[in-house]
Amino acid sequence: MTAPASTRPDEDLAADVARPWNVVLWNDPVNLTEYVVFVLRKLFGHSLEKATKLTMQVHHGGRAVVASGPREKSEFDCYRLHHHGLWATLEK
């Protein structure tokens, strides 16, 4: 048994739980630019323009947040990107 908590969870913790997870796509030297654009359009329904912008952000800046949301959905997004050979991680 544990003693009752003497304080309520602090606001930082509550805010952390509510914060969405970001799906981060990383640059790699092998995947074709047009393949990354295709996958982002197909998986996330992005327009050609948005998918191209994100792909260029990854290519030149090394990374981009391509989706965000609750943990389970973000894990599924990560899985789908990995299934397509893209390098993705999760972060808050």
Partner 1 sequence: MGDARKVSDLFESTPDGVLAHFSDAERDFLIQLLELLADVGSAAGDPAAARLDPVVYPDDPLAEEEYRRLMRSEIDEARVADRSAYQMVLESKGDVTMSFPEAEAVMRVVGEGRLALAARLGIRVEGDTETLDKDDRSALDYLAYVQGNLIEVLSTRLPSI
Q: Which of 9, 17, 48, 70 binds partner 1 (CB under 8 A)?
A: 48
Closer residue to partner 1 (CB): 7 or 79: 79
Specify burial of residue 54 (Cβ count, 10 A radius: 0-12, 13-18, 19+): buried
| Near partner 1 in 1-20, by CB under 8 A | none
CB of 1 to partner 1, least distance (A): 25
Does residue 75 bind partner 1 (CB under 8 A)? yes
Question: Which residues have CB under 8 Å from 39's CB, separation 6+?
Answer: 81, 84, 86
| Near partner 1 in 25-44, by CB under 8 A | 27-36, 38, 41-42
Beta strands at 63-69 and 88-91: parallel, antiparallel or unpaired: unpaired
d(Cα 29, Cα 66) in Å, to the nearest integer?
18
Interacting residue ranges for partner 1, rule: CB under 8 A: 27-36, 38, 41-42, 45, 47-48, 55, 59, 75, 78-79, 82-85, 87-90
